[in-house]
Amino acid sequence: MAHHLRIALYDTTAGSTEEAVEIARKGMIPLYEAQPGFVRYEVGTLDDGGIVSFSVWETADEAQRAIELAAGWVKENLADRIKLREQHTGSMSWEEEL
């Protein structure tokens, strides 16, 4: 059964990208880990200074729910530092553990 994903791109509007990523690491990981269907969560920095957030879920509904969770958490904790550029959900085509 294919997993589902949520991917979001954010622009840093204040402070450093590294600070925003660290705040997200401390808050989003426990939030996502407590959700049904959570598989994994990864964050990276983009060449243009933005942030990419990538989470994997067991079902499409759980991936969709992650949009609501992330929006609420970012609004409460990072709204003064980052702004959502775009976000998407979809199905994983393949996965490989290295």
In this predicted model, what pLDDT tens digit does every residue of 23-54 receive, in sequence order? 999 999 999 999 999 999 999 999 999 999 99
If you count them, how many residues does the chain have? 98
Q: Is residue 96 part of a domain?
A: no
pTM: 0.89
The CATH number of whichever domain residue 66 belongs to comes to 3.30.70.100
- Rounded CA-CA distance 91/34 in Å is 22
For the chain, the domain total comes to 1
Q: Is residue 97 part of a domain?
A: no
Instruction: State whether the Cα torsion 29-31-32-34 is positive or negative.
Output: positive
Please report the DSSP string for 3-36 in residue order: -EEEEEEEEE-SS-HHHHHHHHHHHHHHHHHTST
- Residue 4: pLDDT band (50, 70, 90) is very high
Q: What is the pLDDT of residue 84?
A: 96
- Residue 13: pLDDT band (50, 70, 90) is very high
Range of the domain at 78: 4-91
Residue 1 has pLDDT above 80, yes or no: no
Q: Is residue 84 part of a domain?
A: yes
